Structure 1
């Protein structure tokens, strides 16, 4: 598989070879947990160029591209939020939005770009990658490489035996109910989510596996929902162990190439060189929308099932339900359940909304000033509702 490892030294050499154009690029912002504190300028450059920030694998596209035709009728939603009139342009400016692509019946009804982003430029996904990883779990079950969602995780990651993951199943991972203690505070650089990807591991062991296997248990498996990026990284390692190939290669074979994505994707590695199942794919805005369309079409490629029968419906229903009042009403298999549909979500404003009954997909990329705040998610949900109304 193709793999990108572009260091600062390599960038300097490249600048000498390619001339002034590269010399004008800013140096890449720092990686690791520090990306949680990037300035707006660092976000604009870094989110486009994550492969220059950290090592990454390439997810190759195939020989054809799934066309997304322009619909005869284009929408221009207008709505009110917190008492103020909103348009797509005002929303994108206020929310630091770099792209919006809306598909209705598989056709583009709205496509806009901001932050000087071009349609062919990729943008990082953050946790939208989790939903892709869950889809690969389904593909591995369809291929017979994972026997059952009720298999123990340690059957596929033996290093987890003898600790808090004893008795934890693949289903528990996908529904965030392992019962293992975890802190997902993006504002705390000493939290588990900030440390798990950068703390050195035990010799000969993936560092994320090494970190996760030392965590204590706080609840019985299946009894408590706690959002854990580390466990989505474990899910990615589980898939690659089960299928015997890198996640990027498996994704290319099962979805990226046969479905017809328009560009290669980039998938960021952990410090051991394994793609992070919980974070940081980079793709064009239209390819984000194609992921939603793939799910909307039932997980099929050219009429053939990539996923087990009923997988999409099961993955996108509420296995965990949340109290009323929030944007999300529940959680499926690394998919958030929302009013009328489901969504893949990533910090700093990355989101794919899917509304099956309406045959509607909304892809949004952003560079929010905070990783995750209720008012930001609420504003983005209001935008999605305005789009829904405009397409009816």
Structure 2
């Protein structure tokens, strides 16, 4: 009789475990289905402007003394008619429409020369920039380093994040996080429910994104291969928080947000524990995003001449030195674009140009030689089915920068 009771209890326990797993699976699928609806073609533009209302977020108030970039609006002739990408001619106006660009703001010599909004977007509206957030986390790393919160970029993660002791990230150097050369196992496939990026999103929706590294494994030694790994940036934010003894949101507000004298409110998406999605959760207006570009062009100084980070940090960030980071096709990277310190470099650089890039078309393009910035948002629903989309967009912005510069130069010469 006792044996039957034990067997019966085991059967009930197994059944309970199966029911629990099935329920968790159903709950997970429901959460991911709801998240996937964000990218529905019919509502994607509006969703990208309202994620702060759909998911937990932290608000950053606009400045009480907002800075508006001076304007010198020019005509539509600053855009070239066409540009060439991979030996094929593309029409600029058609690309803007087909790739669902929702904003395009252009700065030349410190003045706004063009500002366009499409698909019901508005100048005051903050928009999710997804992985464009990574470049901002890089700047926060530079600030923490230059203020000596971080002693060395060669320091291992565990020095500042003891919670990651015993994990795959324990001995990874900070510089290798910046360069996405950590060597960890990671899949960035948004179309695969089992991929790390999707599972990390699930961790965000259910609990703590910062716990996800504890389940990760190593693929190769660090520092030899550039593989796009969003979790490297999330761990970088944990390093900043540990080094400064401030939450990443507080350090962002005090060290960067308050220094650009924002015109509009911004938001940071957070997980269930209140940790910001440092790898892709910043929601910011196109105008205020362009001010990050101005900092990069102006040697790290803001509109009041205050130094936020050094020109040396900028130069080091946009000058790749290791083979896996150089632009062009290479065996030690999963991308043809170059990469360093969470910034992207076009395959064929022009004027030392570089960009912050987020999925679905978010781009902050900066050309130091031509003193041009292009801040742009997009709601390109077919993004995941267009593997050359980012490269083509960078090529279009290069063409716009070159054409604009030539038009302005010609007009200036005609006045002499």
TM-score, normalisation: structure 1:
0.85
Inter-CA distance 323–136: structure 2 relative to 1 (3 Å threshold):
same
RMSD of equivalent CA atoms: 2.5
DSSP-derived class of the 1:361 partner: strand
C-alpha distance in structure 1 between counterparts of 2:217 and 2:335, whole Å: 30
| Number of the residue aligned with 2:139 | 135
Inter-CA distance 335–98: structure 2 relative to 1 (3 Å threshold):
same
Corresponding residue pairs, total: 359
Inter-CA distance 32–371: structure 2 relative to 1 (3 Å threshold):
farther
The gaps in structure 2 that reach 5 residues or longer are 1-29, 406-416
| Number of the residue aligned with 2:390 | 377
More helix by share: 2
Inter-CA distance 322–386: structure 2 relative to 1 (3 Å threshold):
closer
| Number of the residue aligned with 2:364 | 352
1:162 to 144, 161, 166: 166
Alignment map for 1:218-233 (pairs within 5 Å)? 218-233=219-234
C-alpha distance in structure 1 between counterparts of 2:32 and 2:144, whole Å: 30
Inter-CA distance 378–162: structure 2 relative to 1 (3 Å threshold):
closer
DSSP-derived class of the 1:112 partner: strand
Say yes or no: does 1:79 pair with 2:92: no
Say yes or no: does 1:362 pair with 2:366: no
Conserved in 2, the CA contact under 8 Å of 1:55 and 1:268? yes
Conserved in 1, the CA contact under 8 Å of 2:266 and 2:283? yes
C-alpha distance in structure 2 between counterparts of 1:58 and 1:161, whole Å: 32
The gaps in structure 1 that reach 5 residues or longer are 1-29
| Number of the residue aligned with 1:336 | 344
Inter-CA distance 81–114: structure 2 relative to 1 (3 Å threshold):
farther
DSSP-derived class of the 1:226 partner: coil
| Number of the residue aligned with 2:278 | 277
Shift of 1:296: 1.1
Inter-CA distance 358–343: structure 2 relative to 1 (3 Å threshold):
same
C-alpha distance in structure 2 between counterparts of 1:375 and 1:34, whole Å: 28
Shift of 1:170: 0.8
Inter-CA distance 376–267: structure 2 relative to 1 (3 Å threshold):
same
Q: Which moved more, 1:281-290 or 1:157-166?
A: 157-166
DSSP-derived class of the 2:376 partner: strand
C-alpha distance in structure 2 between counterparts of 1:33 and 1:241, whole Å: 34
Alignment map for 1:1-392 (pairs within 5 Å)? 35-36=35-36, 38-71=39-72, 73-74=74-75, 75-80=78-83, 86-88=91-93, 90-199=94-203, 207-301=208-302, 302-308=304-310, 310-318=312-320, 319=322, 320-324=325-329, 329-338=337-346, 339-340=349-350, 341-372=353-384, 373-392=386-405
DSSP-derived class of the 1:374 partner: coil
Conserved in 2, the CA contact under 8 Å of 1:61 and 1:252? no
Shift of 1:81: 5.2
TM-score, normalisation: structure 2:
0.80
